Each structure stands twice: as C-alpha cells, then as structure tokens.
C-alpha cells in the first residue's frame, strides 16, 4: 500500500500521526515530495519538537525505532506531487498507479468533498482514496489489505494471481529474501518442484538481489549436497537480478526443533507464514490444495530471525554453499 502525504499535513495531532505510522508499519510504503526545498526531511525539521521527534523516530534507519521499518524507508519511492494543483477529486487522475492513498491537509481535503459525512473519498478512474491524515484508518483500501493479510490461500487460485497479490507487493520494496521450508528440496531434481518458479518471479518481477534458503533433504550426505549445488548453479546462471544465493541444509531433527513452520521474510520489516512450502504452492498453474497464510511485521519478525539464526548455526560447513555473480 502506497501513501502520499502532503507536507503541510505533517503537523497533525500526535494521535493522528500515531495512527498513520501504525498503518504505515503494517501495510504501507510512503510516497512523498522530492524537491530541493520541500523534501519530507526538511519539512519534518521545521515542525515543533513534539511532532518532529515522532516523525524522526519513525524515519530512523534502525529496526529498534518506534516504527521498525528501516529498509522500508530506504526503499521509499519519491514522487513529485504538485499538491497546489490538486483542487478537485479529478486532479488525482494524474497520479494513477503512482500511489493508493492521498493524505492531505484539512483545507485541501474539504475542497475535495472530504468531511464528517464522507471522511474518505474514492476516485475510481485513478483508483486512489483521499482523506485527511487522522482518518487514514478509515480507508477501505487498508481494510482490504488487512483482510487479505490474514486470509488463507484457497485451492484452485491462479498462481500468477497469488504472486501478484501476496508476494510481489513486498518483493518490489525488498533487497533480501529468506525462505525457510523444511521440504523445499524434497523434489528439487524434478520439474514438479515450484521453488525455482518462485525464484524466477523474484528475479524478474521484484527488486530482490539476495536470497537465502533453509531446507533439508532426507539422507543428506556430501554427494547429495554437491548435486543440489549443481542444480542451483545451473538455475543461478539464468538469473539477471539475483546476485547472491545462500543455501543452508541443517539436519532434519534441527528443523523439527526450530524450523517446523514455513516462512518467507522480506528484508527486516515483513514476512509471511504459510502452511505448505513454495515448492508446493508454485508447482502448477493453480494451487492444488488450500493452505494457511498470514503476514508478520514489527516484533513478530524477531522470532522468525531467531529461527533462521538457529538453523544457520546448526548447519555443518559441508552442507551449505553461497553462489555469487562474478
């Protein structure tokens, strides 16, 4: 979900700012003005200390800050929005496909028909909602995303649609992806394994450049590990944008202790947990069976990273490898 915030709307009451930042952390990417004299950074510096501190904490590039979206802000897209020319709802048509929600200062919002009776207005031709900052939580688009974030995947769904709805929106703003799936390598030497289909999506339809995979193969030995490495080398040569591939294969009992559940993590700010692995999800054009799916963010990410750390620490040097583009 992409937010566009009018700089003059930044000095809203603290409760409104907190509402926005909570929505941003959970679902959003900020779209903001980028010009020499009125960047969001300069605008924040001119705010009163109470407002300034809250915004600066949110924009810090460290995971331990209030909003915990370091890479999300690093991947923030800047877009030149001429707010002075947004005088009617139809003026949002110029920004179709550039952002999803426009957050405006009060006076401009009222000129677009935003009031107590209509706190959020929708421009269908641009597919953009507009509201004032303190009403961002009333957005139907956000409600739709919240529902999608916790809805399971159903048998018969088209794989392309699953990628576009559930994975690509996160992958477009991520540099690193981590896949934890105990059974991803079970049929890695057959064309029925969908893991490489997912990797192809990441390579061609996202900004991901580094992927780490934790998985296991029954009766794993050094010869089998070398075979898996060769399979990945052959696939890796065909990638254009994935520059680094890390593979760890801890013993099966280690997965039983720490990594039974499957997840895919996007940088340090988002993840999804899934009931079946990507090898099963992406092996056909349609999903063959329903499965659990949910998004994770904020403090929920720390537990997943702890699982990854334990799996990595428990992996013998003989059962891990790294591929890099020269």
User: Is pLDDT at 30 greater than 70 in this prediction?
Assistant: no
Q: For position 68, what pLDDT does the model report?
A: 34
CA 273/CA 205 separation, integer angstroms: 21
What residue spans define the domains of the chain?
A: 2-145, 153-324
**What tokens were used for 103?**
């957050």
Q: For position 13, what pLDDT does the model report?
A: 67
Q: For position 176, what pLDDT does the model report?
A: 94
pLDDT band at 135 (very low <50, low <70, confident <90, very high): confident
Residue 175 exposed, middle or buried by CB count within 10 Å (0-12, 13-18, 19+): middle
> Residue 268 half-sphere exposure, CB side, CA atoms within 13 Å?
14
SS3 per-residue string spanning 248-271:
ECCCHHHHHHHCCCEEEEECCCEE
pLDDT band at 124 (very low <50, low <70, confident <90, very high): very high
Helix/strand/coil percentages in the chain, nearest 5: 40, 20, 40
Q: What is the mean pLDDT of residues 156-175?
A: 92
Produce one character per residue of 245-279: b if its CB has 16 or more CB atoms within 10 Å, e if not.
bbbbbbeeebbeebbeebbbbbbbbbbbbbbbbbb
pLDDT tens-digit map of 195-251: 999 999 999 999 899 999 999 888 889 999 999 999 999 999 999 999 999 999 998
pLDDT tens-digit map of 68-117: 333 444 444 556 788 888 999 999 999 998 888 998 888 899 989 998 89
User: Is pLDDT at 17 greater than 70 in this prediction?
Assistant: yes
Q: What is the mean pLDDT of residues 6-18?
A: 74
14, 159, 229, 299 from 70: Cα distances, Å:
21, 30, 33, 13
Percent of the residues in the chain that have a pLDDT greater than 90, as a whole number: 45
Q: What is the mean pLDDT of residues 57-68?
A: 44
Q: For position 52, what pLDDT does the model report?
A: 74
Query: CB count, 10 Å around CB of 78?
Result: 13
pTM of the full structure: 0.81
pLDDT band at 41 (very low <50, low <70, confident <90, very high): low
User: Is pLDDT at 62 greater than 70 in this prediction?
Assistant: no
Residues 6 or more apart from 71 whose CB is under 8 A from it? 173, 174, 175, 267, 268, 269
CA 6/CA 90 separation, integer angstroms: 17
Q: What is the mean pLDDT of residues 137-165?
A: 91
CA 62/CA 20 separation, integer angstroms: 19
CATH number of 153-324: 3.30.870.30
**What tokens were used for 120?**
């959020």
Q: For position 166, what pLDDT does the model report?
A: 92
Q: For position 75, what pLDDT does the model report?
A: 44
Handedness of CA 242, 292, 161, 296 (dihedral sign): negative
Average pLDDT, the chain: 83
**What tokens were used for 151?**
């809805």
Closest C-alpha among 248, 301, 239, 242 to residue 272: 301
Please compute Rg for the chain using Cα positions. Answer: 22
**CB 216, CB 250: distance < 8 Å:** yes
């Amino acid at each position: 979900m992409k937010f566009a915030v009018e700089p003059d709307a930044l000095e809203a009451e603290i409760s409104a700012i907190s509402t926005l930042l909570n929505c941003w952390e959970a679902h959003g990417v900020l779209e903001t003005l980028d010009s020499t004299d009125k960047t969001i950074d300069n605008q924040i510096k001119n705010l009163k200390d109470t407002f300034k501190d809250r915004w600066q904490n949110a924009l810090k590039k460290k995971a331990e800050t209030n909003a915990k979206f370091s890479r999300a802000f690093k991947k923030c897209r800047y877009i030149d929005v001429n707010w002075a020319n947004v005088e009617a709802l139809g003026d949002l048509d110029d920004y179709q496909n550039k952002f999803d929600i426009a957050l405006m200062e009060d006076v401009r919002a009222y000129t677009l028909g935003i009031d107590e009776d209509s706190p959020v207005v929708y421009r269908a031709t641009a597919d953009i909602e507009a509201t004032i900052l303190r009403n961002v939580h009333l957005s139907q688009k956000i409600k739709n995303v919240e529902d999608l974030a916790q809805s399971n995947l159903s048998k018969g769904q088209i794989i392309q649609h699953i990628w576009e709805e559930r994975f690509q929106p996160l992958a477009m703003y991520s540099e690193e992806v981590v896949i934890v799936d105990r059974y991803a390598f079970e049929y890695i030497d057959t064309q029925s394994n969908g893991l490489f289909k997912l990797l192809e999506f990441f390579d061609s339809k996202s900004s991901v450049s580094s992927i780490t995979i934790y998985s296991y193969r029954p009766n794993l030995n050094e010869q089998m590990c070398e075979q898996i490495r060769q399979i990945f080398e052959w696939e890796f040569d065909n990638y254009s944008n994935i520059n680094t591939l890390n593979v760890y294969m801890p013993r099966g009992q280690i997965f039983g202790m720490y990594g039974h559940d499957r997840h895919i993590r996007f940088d340090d700010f988002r993840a999804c947990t899934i009931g079946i692995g990507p090898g099963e999800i992406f092996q056909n054009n349609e999903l063959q069976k329903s499965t659990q799916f949910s998004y994770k963010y904020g403090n929920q990410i720390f537990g997943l990273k702890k699982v990854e750390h334990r799996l990595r620490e428990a992996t013998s040097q003989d059962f891990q490898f790294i591929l890099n583009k020269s």
